Amino acid sequence: MRSQFESLFTSKDIVRAKYPNGWVGWLNDKMSDDDDGRLTRYTTMDGRYMYCIVERLIDYGFKPPELIDDTIHFHDFYLNVYEYLDYSKYDYSKYMIKTPYWLNIQPQPKKSIKNIYESGLDFYEYNGLDYSVI
């Protein structure tokens, strides 16, 4: 898999149950770039490295995404990919995506660059999605 920007979301409950040494192991391995209550995120600019991370998580017992009837179902983690170049197990543009039951994704209201600037928002952090745990 090769992409420009990827974030992996999972819940602290899943990490505690499946990651070696649980939440402490996750933190010691610097796998938490950002966390909000029960949700944690790991981000990388290198899709090849994220592929290695995902494969390691699957080896630890995290359930991988699966394609079922034109829909990619995420279970123990969710990958948000900004831009795919060519190489991926699934072409996300062809399929619908079903997020895990524990992840609530709400689109942020669409705003023009002018409105983002006038509202005092950070243009680079305004990504159109708001992630939270149900």
- CA proximity to 9, closest of 66, 71, 53: 53
Interatomic CA distance for residues 27 and 34, integer angstroms: 11
Say if residue 69's pLDDT is above 70. Answer: yes
The model's pLDDT over 87-106, given as tens digits with 9 standing for 90+, comes to 456 666 677 777 787 777 66
Residue with the two structure tokens 């689109």: 107
Mean pLDDT for all residues in the chain: 76
Say if residue 61's pLDDT is above 90. Answer: yes
The model's pLDDT over 4-48, given as tens digits with 9 standing for 90+, comes to 567 888 999 999 999 999 999 999 999 887 767 788 888 887 777
Where are any strands of DSSP class E within 5-126? 6-11, 34-36, 39-44, 66-68, 71-73, 78-81, 96-98, 103-107
| Domain coordinates in residue numbering, the chain | 6-101
